[in-house]
Structure 1
């Protein structure tokens, strides 16, 4: 089964994520302008962390609901209120493409957990780093749109859009390494991984010099973007759960993991004929981002650290998914296969460190 078949579209709501539709219908009547009573609910197949639903009102208008999952949750995880805040601010004050938000509910009594509602954005989602069914020229245009969009995000002044307090300024790498190390160690049910243990020890002592602060998405990749159905234009950036204030090069290097990851399991580009696919090389892609953000070229050794850091961070996310699978609170039917990729990715990250050390 292809990733498109696995993750595209909707399915009936899973029993573990069902809720009182009548209660939500009442909340929508009170909080969403233009809503017509008569709610139908389906669950999106994709998404590992926060259960996501397609809502259709009595007039056929579509919305999307994102909620915290039920059950015991790790501290600071599943922050739907933060997703709502950053999307609302960017939608009001910038040209960064996001879905229009309608309301945030912090009353657990409505559907059992916090949630927010936003517009349903029509368009295409590509589930592979090199989208099938496109010409080389179209693929190149898709990559150029991604590059421009993440550069546009990193050009935003957080304070100017009311997000100056959206996270801590400075020491992003140290704080993130500490956060994911703590979450990794605290999730005993997910188990220990030797490569993760080594990364937890090595990364804090090898952070490159220099610091910057911008709004970072935290999970900027091709399958978190909705493209226009007809043109290589991004209509909405999705899944802002991991967004915060942080170092823009950490965010951009995470996006560039596609160049360093294999196609099997990680949907990367490693080993593929980049030129034949119509895609820019990693060096060309990084240079385009630097030009769009007005920065000097990034030293190769520093960029390699950013790559290793992001592999560790992604392995930490997958470790959390693995823990939710074992606790029975995972949002997606495909979460088990996602969690199983934690150890291979941690090993890949440590291999990157060994190359740097050599």
Structure 2
């Protein structure tokens, strides 16, 4: 996925989830530089909230985020909360796209949405990673780690972020939350529940609390040609919690190309996972001895997320995308078994 594309669609179009007339009216009031007529293009590849490029007549570009169409769990697609964390982080050491406005009037296009400035760069995946020059890939690896360390260094002890701290450990809350969602989704006995029980019994104590992005990986970053991380994207799962969960997730994403669609390959110039973890530990001073648990938790949580993704695609609420729904339906069990293997060593 490349947010920095410059070609515009040839004709105005109305992808699923966008009421062109009413959204254009909202832009006129909130984004004065957006000269109509506006053009909207669904950025495919997303698995949760829907993301669109918005083009103005005079060449301006923006990005709009909204939940999937149809009935969804509001807590899992809270774009207003995503807008707020981007607004809180603006101008600080964590690179985020500048946000321009948030709309909670469902009469405009059927759901909450927010708009941010367009940031040029590459979101690396199997089709776009070649856009990062080979000579910049080691630097990109280092900058990815340093960016995560910056996220985890944000002070959550005072102000609005302190209000997001909740009783109990992050892992306890997550396991309860996904238990509820899997139960509501009608998931029957099998690997998802078996690994859930293993994770519950082996849970380590929470040692470091800060902003947990929830989905921090190369595929949610905009990277410049020099390897600089220009923006951290997709904050819908963020919370104040156990930052080790982000390390487990990044480790899983860095070493598991199949479920994530793409992973940095040392043979292609990226740092290997040992170097990535050493840099994080050296930058933050944190020991990573519980890492296998957090990696297993990441794979299991990805399995739970994959269960919801498959259900949304089966229900047809993710727009027109070329997706193998049968493969999506089989993925949760595969991921749960991978999590079991990591957890049991």
> 2: CA distance between counterparts of 1:75 and 1:321?
15
Conserved? CA contact 2:125–2:262, under 8 Å: no
CA distance in 2, matches of 1:195, 1:9: 45
Contact 1:46 1:332 in 2 (8 A): no
Distance 1:104 1:130, change over 3 A: closer
Residues 221 and 233 in structure 2, CA contact (< 8 A), matched pair in contact too: yes
> Does 2:25 correspond to 1:26?
yes
C-alpha distance in 1, partners of 2:51/2:100?
15
- From the superposition, tell whether residues 32 and 268 of structure 1 become closer, same or farther in structure 2 (CA, over 3 Å): closer
Q: Deviations over 1:241-270 (max 9, x none)?
A: 111111111112101113442x34544659
Query: Are positions 1:218 and 2:209 aligned together?
Result: no
**Residues 334/162 of structure 1: CA separation in 2 closer, same or farther (3 Å cut):** farther
Equivalence for 2:113:
115
SS at the partner of 1:76?
A: helix
5+ unaligned residues in a row in structure 2: which ranges? none
1:14 Cα offset (Å):
9.2
After the TM superposition, which residues 219-238 of structure 1 pair with which residues of structure 2 at under 5 Å, given as runs? 219-228=215-224, 230-238=225-233
Distance of 1:339 and 1:85 partners within structure 2: 33
What is residue 183 of structure 2 aligned with on the other side?
A: 185
What does residue 249 of structure 1 align with? 244
Please tell me whether the aligned partners of residues 172 and 246 of structure 1 are also in contact (alpha carbons under 8 angstroms): yes
Are the equivalent residues in 1 in contact too, given 2:248–2:297 (CA < 8 A)? no
Separation of aligned partners in 2, 1:235 and 1:269: 19
> For structure 1, which runs of at least 5 residues remain unmatched after alignment?
none
For residues 171-205 of structure 1, the C-alpha deviation after alignment (integer angstroms, 9 at most, x for no partner) is 001111111121112112xx436110101211112
TM-superposed deviation, 1:46: 2.3
Write out per-residue CA displacement over residues 324-356 of structure 1, whole angstroms, 9 at most, x where no aligned residue. Answer: 12222234624534454222111111122232x
Alpha-carbon separation, structure 2, partners of 1:73 and 1:62: 28
Counterparts of 1:137 and 1:59, CA distance in 2: 35
**How far is 1:213 from its partner?**
1.6
Change (3 A) 1:135 1:19: closer
* Deviation per residue, 1:269-301 (Å, 9 max, x gap): 59x6x3x43333322211211221232x321xx
* Residue in 2 that maps onto 1:138: 136
Confirm whether residue 288 of structure 1 aligns to residue 284 of structure 2. Answer: no
Correspondence for 2:303: 315
Structure 2 equivalent of residue 195 of structure 1: 191
User: Which residue number in structure 1 is paired with residue 234 of structure 2?
Assistant: 239
Q: Which of 329, 333, 340 is the matching residue for 1:343?
A: 333
Q: How many Å apart are 1:91 and its aligned residue?
A: 0.9
**CA–CA distance in structure 1, aligned partners of residues 253 and 127 of structure 2:** 7
In 1, Cα distance between equivalents of 2:12 and 2:335: 31
TM-score (normalised: structure 1)? 0.86
Q: Within 1, Cα distance between the matches of 2:184 and 2:13?
A: 28
Once structures 1 and 2 are overlaid, which stretch shifts more, 242-251 or 136-145?
136-145
Taking the aligned partners of 2:8 and 2:331, their CA distance within structure 1 comes to 24
Corresponding position of 2:253: 258
The equivalences for 1:79-94 within 5 A come to 79-92=78-91, 94=92
User: Secondary structure of the equivalent of 1:163?
Assistant: helix
- Identify the range of structure 1 (333-342 vs 193-202) with the bigger mean alpha-carbon deviation: 333-342
